[in-house]
Chain A
Amino acid sequence: MYIVLNKDRMVIEKEQDVVPYRNRVKEFAVKIGMSLVNQTKLITAASELVRNMLKYANGGVTTIEVISKGRENGIRLVFADKGPGIADLNLAMKDGFSTGKSLGLGLPGAKRLSSEFDIQSTVGKGTTVTIIKWKNG
């Protein structure tokens, strides 16, 4: 299992929260010495997911953690909302599918940019997305 080394929590409720949130994720990634390309991938994935949360659930709570597994360090981000939930996760994970007026790249794109990706959703209760980006992953 993972050992959590450092943890922070942020509430996202308006679009102006996106940029400070991205900066916070960047601080964590820089602290563990993640390469610039991986940092950029992580922050882009985070940006997609945080926007999804705002758009479909009017916001939610995010946690940023530094975790370690053996000798590898990484960043784990959790996005939890109490929105409408996703009825068909397989469909939501498909490129180009969107119930909103967007490009439909958010979820599948974030998955491609992450080392590990997990999504749990219950209709009427909300959605929780967890991603991990390993320092060298």
Chain B
Amino acid sequence: MDRIPILRMGNYLLVTIQVDLYDRLAQNLETDLVQMVSKTGARGVLIDISALSIVDSFMGRIIGNIGSVSKIMDAETVVVGMQPAVAITLIELGLELKGVYTALNVERGMQLLKEKILIDEDETEED
């Protein structure tokens, strides 16, 4: 069965979605990612959607779910590289991608994740 590869880099999991996903593939990605977070203890998930020409409500829900479940598993999710036309369409559709952080590109996305995780660690040290 087709799978979207998930790369592990230290505390982070990286996913680049290169093709327009059909439903089964998107759902597999959701379960695979959550299992990987649990297995590796990753603190951050970065999803690159720069190759996606459209994000409909189904795809939006999958991204939102990944964010919410990862959050429960103590990992932050950032979505990077959204095309401007996709962003405009998402808002008009009424989808706000709650529960995930977004960043312009991979570099800024990684920066954001590092900051989030650092803040978390600082807070636990103070306790």
- A binding-site residues for B, Cβ under 8 Å: 15-16, 18-19, 22, 26, 36-37, 39-41, 43-44, 47-48, 51, 95, 102-103, 105-106, 108-109, 112-113
Contact = CB atoms under 8 A, between A and B. Distances in A.
Given A103-B95, A105-B94, A37 B89 contact: yes
Contact of B61 (A18, A36, A47, A103): A103
Contact of B94 (A36, A37, A43, A112): A112
A40 B23 CA distance: 19
Contacts of B99: none
State the majority secondary structure of interface residues on B: helix
Contacts, number: 68
Interface of B: 20-24, 53-58, 60-61, 83-86, 88-89, 92-95
A51 B54 CA distance: 14
A105 B57 contact: yes
